[in-house]
Amino acid sequence: MAEKKLGWAIVGLGEFATKQLIPSFPLCKKSKLVALVSGDPAKAQRIAAENGVDPKNIYNYQNYDSLRDNPEVDVIYIVLPNSMHAEYTIRGAQAGKHIMCEKPMATTVEDCEKMIAACQKAGRKLMIAYRAQYEPYNLKAIELAQGGQLGKLKVITADHGRILDPAKPQDKWRAEKKLAGGGSLMDIGIYSLQAARYITGEEPVEISAMLHSTPHDPRFKEVEENVNFVLRFPSGVQANCTSSYGYSDTKRFQVFGSEKVLTLDPATDYYEHHLSLSGKEGKQEMKIKEENQFALEIDHLSECIQQNKNPKTPGEEGLQDVKLMMAIYESARKGKPVVIKN
Ligand code: NAD
């Protein structure tokens, strides 16, 4: 008999939740959308009606904790501004629910640790929504890099950029340090950092970084525009990463091996990735079946709950990135490399 689908509640009906996550639920095999949490009742009612969510399962930020009394909800997915992730994760775990939390996990190391502790105490799973680690092109790139098909890995470059536009509601809070925690690094540079870590399968031992924001640009009064950082890994691989709110739509990485160079561009888009290998024999495009990465990651957590397994990207994975991002900021502030103790 097919296992029952787990019930999911989405918290925060913003750009990403409404355009990417909610439309992916019909593709899920183990998960269904059953509840919404929003500060805007009219919007929540409209989205509930469009997606077959029972209007009695609409909550707001005040009655959020009463999700505890709703047995239809197994998992809460936090899709709020970054600095709100900790509070809603902790309250969600205390309400007895499993948690999926968007990246970055939180804006401080202390908040990440509190989130992990709260989920452990409640005996609930915590997963960070690192969608690229469930996306088939990225998985292929990991397999090729770690399987030796590129020869010995030497260097990785990873670049993530987009133009911050505070005229858009989703970019307003991104320009505020209190809500975003930081600038382009916390938002998209985290994909460059993640790529360097999952491609090598290693943790960096040293980080050097530089920051620059265009002087007098009001968008960068509180958060940084550009971050360039270099990660040194134990094997000797070095990753050159960039992150920017000043150059447009870039989401790519390259892996340079002694035999071949792998290019994934775009690497971390929502759809339509392009993977190629180049070497002595020329350039070879690799086509893989595209799959909806949001449905894959959502179902991964449901499966982990059903089978009592640890998620592949648990809270500890989110904590590690936040620790490393703090080291990136520290290196830039001090103007010297920071040694990482793992
Ligand atoms: P958004 O602004 O469109 O959505 C945020 C939602 O939170 C809105 O519905 C807003 O009304 C609500 N909210 C509640 N309290 C708020 C407050 N005090 N201030 C501002 N908004 C408040 O933003 P988004 O782009 O959907 O991002 C939400 C989260 O999802 C962020 O953590 C972001 O990093 C993450 N995200 C992840 C991906 C990905 O590919 N994994 C992509 C985009 C965003």
CATH of the structural domain 132-291, one choice from 3.40.250.10, 3.30.360.10, 3.10.20.30, 3.30.200.20: 3.30.360.10
Judge if the beta carbon of residue 270 lies within 6 A of ligand 1. no
Task: Sketch the domain layout of the chain as residue ranges.
Answer: 6-129+294-314, 132-291
pLDDT per residue over 256-271, tens digit each? 999 999 999 999 999 9
Q: Is the pLDDT of residue 139 over 80?
A: yes
Residue bearing the CA closest to ligand 1, atom 17: 81
**Quick one: which H or E segment has residue 325?**
helix 315-334
Are the C-beta atoms of 315 and 112 separated by less than 8 Å? yes
29: DSSP letter: S
pLDDT per residue over 42-56, tens digit each? 999 999 999 999 999
Q: Which atom of ligand 1 is nearest to the CA of 16?
A: 26
Architecture of domain 6-129+294-314 in CATH? Answer: 3-Layer(aba) Sandwich (3.40)
In this prediction, residue 81 has a pLDDT band, given cuts at 50, 70 and 90, of: very high
Judge if the beta carbon of residue 11 lies within 6 A of ligand 1. no
pLDDT per residue over 295-336, tens digit each? 999 999 999 999 999 999 999 999 999 999 999 999 999 999
Give pLDDT, residue 307: 97
Q: Is 4 a catalytic residue?
A: no
How would you classify the pairing of strands 275-279 and 153-161? unpaired
Identity of the amino acid at 316:
E
Q: How far apart are CA 92 and CA 97, in angstroms?
A: 6
Q: Calculate Rg over the CA atoms of the chain.
A: 20
For 2, residues 6+ apart whose C-beta sits below 8 A from its C-beta are none
In 3D space, the residue among 247, 252, 256, 287 whose CA is nearest the CA of residue 268 turns out to be 252
Q: How far apart are CA 27 and CA 13, in angstroms?
A: 19
Are the C-beta atoms of 116 and 126 separated by less than 8 Å? yes
Give pLDDT, residue 87: 98
Q: Is the pLDDT of residue 2 over 80?
A: no
Q: Which atom of ligand 1 is nearest to the CA of 85?
A: 32
Tokens 């809603």 belong to residue: 88
Judge if the beta carbon of residue 124 lies within 6 A of ligand 1. no
Give pLDDT, residue 342: 78
In this prediction, residue 277 has a pLDDT band, given cuts at 50, 70 and 90, of: very high
Identity of the amino acid at 332:
A
Residue bearing the CA closest to ligand 1, atom 42: 16
Judge if the beta carbon of residue 218 lies within 6 A of ligand 1. no
pTM of the predicted structure, to 2 decimals: 0.98
